[in-house]
Amino acid sequence: MTQQTRSRILAGLLSVAVLLPAAAFNSACRGKRATTVQNDEGTPQPVNLPPASSLKMSDAGAPGQIVRGVYPLEANAWRWTAGNFSILLKTPPGAAQKGATVSLTLVVSDAVLKQVKSQTLTASVGDKSVGSEKYTTAGDFAFAADIPATALTGDTVTVDFSLDNSLPPGPADRRELGIIVSAISIDSK
């Protein structure tokens, strides 16, 4: 073996020895930081992301912030809710001093409304109601409610929503159907 060949082999071994621990470290960190799951459309999505203050239902972190009562993603854009549902949001900077406004982008379904006649959506934080709105026509709506600063002292806040009328599970759809939600956010005042 020539000197030049030995030098190349040694250089190759040294680069492997340097890169191997770095690769193992990166792999270990990735495993602890986030894992991936398949979303409803079969696309890999990360989970265990830190909570966000603003959330589209199609965001990768959305499943981790849905506490209860929100169904899987449809059309890669929106989700049906049950009659009661809850979503966790990151408390925005300054909200603990000034309060905040929670906003929900929603659709009141004509198919549901034809059967229940009206729907009143109420938002609560803890045991305190923060806003309510009645819908008597189908369509796109933007719900907003003010949350007092006293309810926003933690890093996150769970906003609970309830509807006075929703469709019970039936033969065509085994889910309780409330409204359709596409986005939610909480912003400091």
Instruction: Single out the residue of 159, 157, 116 nearest to residue 135, CA to CA.
Output: 116
Domain spans of the chain?
A: 49-188
Q: Is the pLDDT of residue 75 over 50?
A: yes
Q: Is the pLDDT of residue 110 over 80?
A: yes
pLDDT by residue (tens digit) across 27-63?
333 333 243 444 444 555 555 789 999 999 999 999 9
Q: Which amino acid is at 150?
A: T
pLDDT of residue 19: 37
Instruction: Single out the residue of 100, 93, 143 nearest to residue 123, CA to CA.
Output: 143
- CA within 13 Å, CB half, 87: 29
Alpha-carbon span 66 to 75, nearest angstrom: 18
**CATH class (in words) of the domain with range 49-188:** mainly beta
pLDDT of residue 67: 97
Residue scoring higher pLDDT (174 or 28):
174
The mean pLDDT of the chain is: 83
Q: Is the pLDDT of residue 95 over 80?
A: yes
Q: What is the dihedral of CA 52, 53, 56, 58, to 10 degrees?
A: 10
Q: Is the pLDDT of residue 26 over 70?
A: no
Q: Is the pLDDT of residue 153 over 80?
A: yes
